Amino acid sequence: RMEQLNFIIIKFNCSILLFWGKQDHETPLWIAKKIKTKNNAELITTNAGHFAYLDNNSLFNNLVIGFLK
């Protein structure tokens, strides 16, 4: 499955922001660390679970705004 994910993501011609929860048991952090991209991928980890964007919504919103500028 990791090969399938990398096959899809490697086709992206844009920067990628990854926002991952360290306590995510559904999609563990090791998966994020193995994602390969053409362009820079930024990996942000938080003390959150699978729904890190909800657990840390202020941090997530600020990072997305900064990333999109």
Task: Please indicate whether residue 16 or residue 54 has the higher confidence score (pLDDT).
Answer: 54
Q: ∠ CA 68-43-3 to the nearest 5 degrees?
A: 110
* CA–CA distances in Å: residue 55 to residues 10, 13, 63: 28, 29, 14
CB atoms within 10 A of CB 50: 15
Assess whether pLDDT exceeds 70 at residue 1: no
- SS3 string of 29-60? HHHHHHCCCCCCEEEEEECCCCCHHHHCHHHH
pLDDT at 22 (0 to 100):
92
- Tell me the pLDDT tens digit for each residue of 5-52: 776 777 878 888 889 999 999 989 888 888 877 777 788 888 999 999
Q: How far is CA 18 from the centre of its chain?
A: 2
* pTM of the model as a whole: 0.77
